[in-house]
């Protein structure tokens, strides 16, 4: 899942609900974008795990490889 969680300026009671939901659906990878807020992104990483939550921000480049070499 790559996208903004829009947590920067919301009631902090929403943060644990989001983390619990993401734990339930178990996405392979979570990449919160800048509108998620650094504090919430770090909190997600602590709650879900650093191998599942990748911190990102402006200028970050993500590369995905399926195991098939590109042409």
Q: Is the distance from CB of 15 to CB of 7 less than 8 angstroms?
A: yes
DSSP SS3 for 12: coil
This prediction has a pTM of 0.76
Predicted confidence at residue 59, as pLDDT, reads: 83
pLDDT-derived band at 70 (thresholds 50, 70, 90) equals low
Per-residue pLDDT tens for 11-58? 777 778 888 999 999 998 999 988 888 888 998 999 999 999 999 877
Break the chain into its structural domains and give their ranges.
Answer: 2-48
Q: What share of the chain is helix, strand, coil (3-state, %, to 5)?
A: 35, 10, 55
Q: Is the distance from CB of 62 to CB of 31 less than 8 angstroms?
A: yes
Mean pLDDT, all residues of the chain: 84
């Amino acid at each position: 899942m790559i996208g903004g969680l829009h947590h920067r300026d919301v009631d902090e009671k929403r943060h644990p609900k989001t983390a619990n939901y993401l734990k339930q659906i178990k996405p392979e990878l979570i990449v919160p974008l800048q509108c998620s807020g650094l504090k919430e992104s770090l909190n997600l990483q602590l709650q879900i795990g650093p191998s599942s939550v990748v911190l990102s921000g402006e200028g970050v480049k993500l590369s995905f490889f399926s195991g098939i070499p590109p042409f």
